[in-house]
Structures are given as structure tokens and as C-alpha cells.
Amino acid sequence: MPTRWRSFPLAQKNTFKGNKQSLPSKPCKTCGRDMTWRKAWAKNWNQVLYCSDACRKHKSPTPP
């Protein structure tokens, strides 16, 4: 009998599999867009103020 390939799930990247609605969020200081917590920001979430490099470059004193 010939050997058949077994169907193994493909290796997945480390992704958050829980309820993403329960993650903390806060508004961008420049545009006011809601930013949701990311693992990359885990160590400095309190210092994260801007949603993108563009917003960081165009700092405004108050959100729209």
C-alpha cells in the first residue's frame, strides 16, 4: 500500500487566539484613532502615544 501524506496543520505564527475585544485600547494623540494593545507594546504601553510614524511626525497639541 503506498504511503500517503498525512494532513498536518501548517505551522502557524504566534497569534493571539483569545478575545481581542478585551484588549486595552486608547486614542492616538494626533488623529484620535483608537489604538489596540499589541504584544510589541507590552513593555512600554504607557508611553505609546501615536498610532503611526506619520502621526508621530505631525504631532498636534490636541486630537481633532
Q: Is the pTM of this model over 0.85?
A: no
**For the chain, what is the mean pLDDT?**
79
In this predicted structure, the answer to whether residue 12 has a pLDDT above a threshold of 90 is: no
Q: Are 31 and 55 in contact (CB under 8 A)?
A: yes
Q: For 16-45, what is each residue's pLDDT tens digit? A: 577 777 889 999 999 999 999 998 989 999
pLDDT at 50: 94
Q: Which helix (H) or strand (E) holds 53?
A: helix 53-57
| 9 confidence band (pLDDT: 50, 70, 90) | low
Task: Let me know if 37 is exposed, middle or buried by CB neighbors in 10 A (0-12, 13-18, 19+).
Answer: middle
Q: Which residue has the higher pLDDT, 62 or 42?
A: 42
